[in-house]
Amino acid sequence: MEETKHLKAQLDLMQAALDHINQGFTVFDSDLRLVAWNRGLYDMLDMPAEIVQRGSHLEAFIRVNAERGEYGPGDIEGKIARRIERAKLFEPHYFERVRPNGQIIAVSGTPLPQGGFVTIYSDVTEERRRQEKLERTVEERTRALQQSEDWLRLVTDNIPALIAYLSPGPIFRFANRRYADWFNQSVASIAGRRAVDVVGKELFSDLEPHIARAFEGNAVSYEYQRKRPDGTTAYMRSTLIPDMTQDGRTLGIFVLSLDATDQKQAEAALVQSQRMDAVGKLTGGLAHDFNNLLTIMMGNLLSLSRIETPLAKQDLDVKVSPMLEATKRGSELIQRLLAFSRGKAIDPQVVPLAQVIANAGKLLDGSLPSKIVFETGISDPTIGARIDPTQMETALINLAFNARDAMPDGGSLQIELSDRAMDKREAEDLGIPAGRYACISVTDTGSGMDEDTRLKIFEPFFTTKNFGTGSGLGLSMVYGFIRQSGGAIQVDSKPGQGTRLTLYLPFRSLAASAGAVGSNGETTRFRRGQGELLLLVEDDPDVATTVTDQLKDLGYAVLRAESAEDARQLAQDLPELKAVLSDIVMPGQTNGLLLAREIRRQRADLGIALMSGYADWSELAGQDANCEFPVLAKPFADDQLAETLEQILSIKT
DSSP conformation letters of 526-586 = -PPP-S-EEEEE-S-HHHHHHHHHHHHHTT-EEEEESSHHHHHHHHHH-TTEEEEEEESS-
Same domain, 82 and 199: no
Q: Are residues 100 and 161 in the same domain?
A: no
The reply to whether 469 falls in a domain is yes
Report the pLDDT value the prediction gives residue 289, as an integer from 0 to 100: 46
Neighbours of 99 (CB within 10 A): 17
Of 95, 123, 151, the domain-final residue: 123
The residue-averaged pLDDT of 636-653 equals: 80
Q: What is the mean pLDDT of residues 309-331?
A: 60
CB atoms inside a 10 Å sphere around CB 302: 21
Q: Which domain holds residue 74?
A: 20-123
Rounded CA separation 262/264 (Å) = 5
Identify the pLDDT of residue 334.
Answer: 63
Which range, of 327-341, 377-391, 496-510, averages the lowest pLDDT?
327-341
Element of type H or E holding 27: strand 24-28
Give the strand pairing for 372-378 and 411-422.
parallel
pLDDT of residue 33: 92
Examine residue 377 and state whether it is found in any structural domain, yes or no.
Answer: yes
Cα angle 588, 610, 336; round to 5: 95
Residue 502 is predicted with a pLDDT of: 93
Domain holding 403: CATH number? 3.30.565.10
Rounded CA separation 429/451 (Å)? 17
Q: What is the pLDDT of residue 90?
A: 87
Calculate the average pLDDT of the chain. 79
Query: Which SS3 state, helix, strand or coil, does residue 228 take?
Result: coil
Interatomic CA distance for residues 644 and 534, integer angstroms: 13
Is the pLDDT higher at 441 or at 620?
441
Domain count, the chain: 4
The Cα–Cα gap between 72 and 58 comes to 19
The CATH number of whichever domain residue 26 belongs to comes to 3.30.450.20
Check whether residue 173 and residue 219 sit in a common domain.
Answer: yes
Q: What is the residue type of 158?
A: N
For residue 209, how many other CB atoms are within 10 A of its CB? 11
Q: Report residue 511: phi and psi, to 5°.
A: -70, 150
In this structure, of 378-382, 440-444, 555-559, the range with the lowest mean pLDDT score is 378-382
- pLDDT tens for residues 222-260? 888 888 777 788 888 889 999 988 888 899 999 988 888
Rounded to whole angstroms, the Cα distance separating 9 from 237 reads 59
How many other CB atoms are found less than 10 A from the CB of residue 223? 11
In this structure, what are the phi and psi dihedrals at residue 124, rounded to the nearest 5 degrees? Answer: -110, 20
Helix (H, G, I), strand (E, B) or coil at 371: coil
Give per-residue burial for 387-403: e unless 16+ CB within 10 Å, then b.
bbbbbbbbbbbbbbebb
Q: Are 607 and 505 in a shared domain? A: no
- Does residue 522 form part of some domain? no
Q: How far is CA 628 from the centre of its chain?
A: 23
Q: What pLDDT score was predicted for residue 621?
A: 45
What is the C-alpha to C-alpha distance for residues 70 and 45, in angstroms, rounded to an integer? 10
| Residue 244 amino acid letter | M
Name the pTM for this structure: 0.36
Q: What is the pLDDT of residues 484-508, one digit of tens each?
A: 888 898 888 888 888 999 999 999 8
Strand order in the sheet with 220-227: 171-175, 162-167, 250-259, 233-244, 220-227
Percentage of residues in the chain with pLDDT exceeding 70? 73
Inter-residue contact 59 to 82 (CB < 8 Å) = no
Cα–Cα distance, 552 to 529 (Å, whole number): 9
Tell me what the mean pLDDT of segment 520-549 comes to. Answer: 79
pLDDT at residue 277 tops 50: no
Of the candidates 92, 123, 154, which is a domain's last residue? Answer: 123
Residue 96 inside a domain? The answer is yes
Q: Are residues 489 and 431 in the same domain?
A: yes
What local confidence, expressed as pLDDT, does residue 408 receive? 87
Is 80 exceeded by the pLDDT of residue 482?
yes
Report the share of the chain in percent with pLDDT over 90: 15
Per-residue pLDDT of 144-183, as tens digits, reads 766 766 666 666 677 778 888 999 989 998 888 888 888 8
Higher-pLDDT residue of 601, 138: 601
Mean pLDDT score, 616-639: 68
Residue 22 CA to residue 226 CA, distance in Å, equals: 47
Asked if the structure places residue 553 within a domain, the reply is yes
- Side by side, the strands of the sheet bearing 508-509 are 349-352, 383-387, 508-509
* Last-in-domain residue among 238, 269, 300: 269
State the SS3 of 93-137: EEEEEECCCCCEEEEEEEECCCCCEEEEEEECHHHHHHHHHHHHH
Is 354 domain-assigned? Answer: yes
- Identity at 461, one-letter amino acid code: F
134 and 114 housed in the same domain: no
Q: How many other CB atoms sit within 10 Å of the CB of residue 236? A: 17
Q: What is the pLDDT of residues 108-132, one digit of tens each?
A: 999 988 888 898 888 888 888 888 8
Q: Which amino acid does the sequence have at 200?
A: G
**Structural Rg of the chain based on CA atoms:** 34
Please give the Cα distance from 93 to 89 (Å, whole number).
Answer: 11
Find all residues with CB under 8 Å of 219, minimum gap 6, and list them: 239, 240, 241, 242
Q: How many angstroms separate the Cα of 76 from the Cα of each of 52, 65, 71, 73?
A: 21, 10, 9, 8
Give the Cβ contact number of residue 201 at 10 Å. Answer: 8
DSSP 519: P
pLDDT of residue 514: 41
Residue 540 shares a structural domain with residue 504: no
- 395 vs 595 pLDDT, higher one: 595
Kindly state the DSSP code that residue 264 receives in the 8-state scheme: H
User: Residue 122: exposed, middle, or buried by beta-carbon count in 10 A (0-12, 13-18, 19+)?
Assistant: middle
For residue 194, name the pLDDT band (cuts at 50, 70, 90): very high
Q: Are residues 351 and 486 in the same domain?
A: yes
- What is the model's pLDDT at position 613? 76
> What is the pLDDT, as a whole number, of residue 518?
42
Q: CA quadruple 581, 582, 584, 585: dihedral positive or negative? A: positive
Amino acid at 70: E
Would you call the peptide bond into 170 cis, given omega within 30 degrees of 0 as the criterion?
yes
The SS3 call for residue 426 is: helix
- Do residues 174 and 212 share a domain? yes
Which is more confidently placed, 477 or 36?
Answer: 36
Instruction: Report the range of poorest mean pLDDT among 70-84, 195-209, 309-323, 605-619.
Output: 309-323
Q: Which of 457, 450, 484, 481 is nearest to 402 (CA)?
A: 457
Asked if 350 contacts 510 with a C-beta cutoff of 8 angstroms, the reply is yes
Q: Rounded to 5 degrees, what angle do the CA atoms 598, 604, 610 make?
A: 55
349 in a structural domain: yes
More confident residue, 520 or 218: 218
Same domain membership, residue 393 and residue 467: yes
Give CA–CA dist 618/393, Å, rounded. Answer: 27
Phi, psi of 619, rounded to the nearest 5 degrees: -70, -40
Contact 404, 416 (CB under 8 A): no
> 117: how many CB neighbours lie within 10 A of its CB?
21
- Same domain membership, residue 193 and residue 97: no
Same domain, 352 and 387: yes
Whether residue 275 is contained in a domain is answered as: no
State the pLDDT at residue 296.
53
Report the distance separating Cα 381 and Cα 363, nearest Å. Answer: 20
Beta-ladder partners of 251: none
